[in-house]
Structure 1
Amino acid sequence: MSHSHKLCAFIGASFLLLSWCDFVVLGELHQDFSKCLDFFHRQTPPKGVIGAGYQPICQRFENQYRFATMYHREHRTPLYSAYIISSADGKRPNCTWMYEPQLAFSLASPEMKPFSTPVDQNVQESQAVLQDYKNSNYTRGHLNPSMHQKTRKDRIATFTLTNVVPQRAGSNSGPWNSLEKEVLRKFKAFCEGPMYVITGAMPYANETHWINNRMSVPEYMWSAYCCPVYKAKIPKDVRPLFPTYAAVGRNDRDSGEEIVPVNPKVRTPLRGYDVRKMPLDTLEGILAQRLHMPISLFEGKCQ
């Protein structure tokens, strides 16, 4: 046996997955987003994210970085995904869901990969898997939605479980979906340069809500955009929405109304999944209180 074959066999035995020999390269997990800073305004990620367990991921698909995600290993869900919005040049793809190999193996490929059957034990321990969503009564809620990405490959890349959180169907296909479409319309109508978007999840205040003691459920969704270059002449009612604005959406219809009030005129099944739009400072204040961290989403407040 040649030296290279012995090395591959050794690595495969160590990982209990021989077929991974083809993918063994130096992993790219870092403690920062140095490989994918272009997805952030002024190439500066959100400041103030503190605490153990957070893992920056430069999401790579077919040898190209597509967006960035701050992932929480213990909760097996992302805190946020950051991306540059664009109008899709085609339909929403029907994709095979993917995972992040380097979360499971430090020397694994830095590219997201489709799930295989059975799922490797190291993958299950390191991140969410499809089984976590089965019979959970939650949908897979994109933080970076596929229809906010121009090319088919960019849209396919959003179908990784490191980019989704457990989201109620009433939110995912209701008010939150409407917000995503509205943000895209604002980009197309008023932005004259890139629009940077950061979308994330907010945990419950007092205790973590778990799915099978594996994956945490957010109480709210949140999103903010930054459009530093926009049209000089915009309608008066639109001016307060630029260069930056934000929103918080309910993911639990039984939550209190301190953060997002419920519109009693909305009929079920969408009642209780309301979205409240707000200035960036208001969102950052809510996140600071709920996440216990002085988070600042956009460098210079997007000025």
Structure 2
Amino acid sequence: MSQRKMLQSSSGALLLLLPWFGGLVLGEISSNFSQCLDFFYQRSPPQGISAAGYQPICQRYKNQYHFASLYHRQQRAPLYSAYVLSAADGKRPKPVWMYEPQLSFSRADPQMKVFVDPVDQNVIDSQAVLQDYKNSNFTKGHLNPSMHQKTKENRKATFTLTNIVPQQAGSNNGPWNQLEEDVLNKYKTFCNASMYVITGGLPYESGPRWIKNRVSVPEYMWSAYCCPSYNVSLPQFMRPFFPTYAAVGRNDRNSGEEIVPVNTKVSRASRGYDVRKMSLETLEDILKQRLGMSVSLFHGQCQ
């Protein structure tokens, strides 16, 4: 199947999912990102995504906002997380997993909370829980990776399941991890000010696939960055990577190669989890076809 036909069919599949999404709640999580717009370039969240279908979350930990996520209630996974990248000033913290209380009760404490046993049934009904990932053969894949966050509290805040998608270990520990390191290196070497990053997952074109019949598994991971202020003396080979660049990575080694080709020369563990780097415009075209919406990730294309 050609890439255009494949993308057109996936668009129809995704449109069928939109009526599943529940309504929005009020309070800390609301109908927009008004409390945490600083995590978006020009304080402008991605445009073109129907707000009626998703739940904006300002990710709050220890009385501070750390990043933003657009959460899919029925699929119990985020469509994306948005953050300002900053090199970590320490090590990756030991995971202490948390959840979003206001997804289960709109008047709950707005701070993310650590999971404790037994987990309240309202929490289980409203979002992913640790039991979903147990013996699932999937890792907990960060959209906002902890090592892209400066302080210990920043890094701890990324360990909420509202920032997580089911990710194959071959992707999470292989090519996708290499992409995260590459983006961090570009930030440290060439970016003169803030780098705004948006990372998400794309469900299967034929409809959702699940772990435990509860959490949707993405077929692909995607990410884009915006670095509006960068070194004007960039080497020639580095100029295509600024001010924006993007990538799509395979989360299923058995998927077709229309979006991301397979490199058969890599190690067996990484084979089939390839990452294709691309322009922001190419990524937005893929999102448009897959989601059935004209998505603009950065205000004015980060110009």
Q: TM-score if structure 2 supplies the norm length?
A: 0.91
* Gap runs ≥5 in structure 1: 1-25
Give the structure 2 partner of residue 156 of structure 1. Answer: 156
> Rg bigger for which structure?
1
Matched residue type, 1:228:
P
**Distance (Å, rounded) in 1 between the aligned partners of 2:156 and 2:186:** 24
**Distance (Å, rounded) in 2 between the aligned partners of 1:284 and 1:37:** 21
Give the structure 1 partner of residue 145 of structure 2. Answer: 145
Asked if 1 retains the 8 angstrom alpha-carbon contact of 2:97 and 2:114, the reply is: yes
Matched residue type, 1:252:
D
Give the structure 2 partner of residue 15 of structure 1. Answer: none
Asked if 2 retains the 8 angstrom alpha-carbon contact of 1:53 and 1:74, the reply is: no
* Pair 1:167-2:167 in alignment: yes
* Pair 1:277-2:299 in alignment: no
Give the structure 1 partner of residue 191 of structure 2. Answer: 191
CA displacement at 1:27 relative to structure 2: 3.4
Pairing of 1:173-252 with structure 2 (within 5 A): 173-252=173-252
**Distance (Å, rounded) in 2 between the aligned partners of 1:127 and 1:202:** 18
Matched residue type, 1:242:
F
Give the structure 1 partner of residue 48 of structure 2. Answer: 48
Q: Helix, strand or coil for the counterpart of 2:65?
A: strand
Matched residue type, 2:242:
F
Which whole-Å deviations, capped at 9, do the CAs of 1:72-116 have from their partners, x for residues lacking one? 000000000000000000000003100000001110011100001
CA displacement at 1:144 relative to structure 2: 0.2
Give the structure 2 partner of residue 99 of structure 1. Answer: 99
Q: Helix, strand or coil for the counterpart of 2:55?
A: strand
Matched residue type, 1:185:
N
Give the structure 1 partner of residue 122 of structure 2. Answer: 122
**Distance (Å, rounded) in 1 between the aligned partners of 2:29 and 2:251:** 30
In structure 2, relative to structure 1, the CA distance for the partners of 1:51 and 1:212 (3 Å cut) is farther
**Distance (Å, rounded) in 2 between the aligned partners of 1:112 and 1:160:** 7
In structure 2, relative to structure 1, the CA distance for the partners of 1:81 and 1:219 (3 Å cut) is same
Asked if 2 retains the 8 angstrom alpha-carbon contact of 1:59 and 1:68, the reply is: yes
Give the structure 2 partner of residue 291 of structure 1. Answer: 291
Matched residue type, 2:287:
L
* Gap runs ≥5 in structure 2: 1-25
CA displacement at 1:51 relative to structure 2: 6.5
Q: Helix, strand or coil for the counterpart of 2:38?
A: helix
Which whole-Å deviations, capped at 9, do the CAs of 1:195-230 have from their partners, x for residues lacking one? 000000001011210112111000000000000000
Number of matched pairs: 278
**Distance (Å, rounded) in 2 between the aligned partners of 1:145 and 1:51:** 25
Relative contact order, higher structure (CA 8 A, sep 6+) = 2
**Distance (Å, rounded) in 1 between the aligned partners of 2:98 and 2:237:** 41
Asked if 1 retains the 8 angstrom alpha-carbon contact of 2:128 and 2:162, the reply is: yes
Q: TM-score if structure 1 supplies the norm length?
A: 0.91
Q: Helix, strand or coil for the counterpart of 1:237?
A: helix
Q: Helix, strand or coil for the counterpart of 1:93?
A: coil
Asked if 1 retains the 8 angstrom alpha-carbon contact of 2:31 and 2:51, the reply is: no
Matched residue type, 2:130:
L
**Distance (Å, rounded) in 2 between the aligned partners of 1:183 and 1:106:** 36
**Distance (Å, rounded) in 1 between the aligned partners of 2:266 and 2:88:** 30
Give the structure 1 partner of residue 20 of structure 2. Answer: none
CA displacement at 1:52 relative to structure 2: 4.6
Asked if 1 retains the 8 angstrom alpha-carbon contact of 2:176 and 2:249, the reply is: yes
Asked if 2 retains the 8 angstrom alpha-carbon contact of 1:27 and 1:109, the reply is: no
CA displacement at 1:281 relative to structure 2: 0.2
**Distance (Å, rounded) in 1 between the aligned partners of 2:124 and 2:268:** 36
Asked if 2 retains the 8 angstrom alpha-carbon contact of 1:224 and 1:244, the reply is: yes
Q: Helix, strand or coil for the counterpart of 1:238?
A: helix
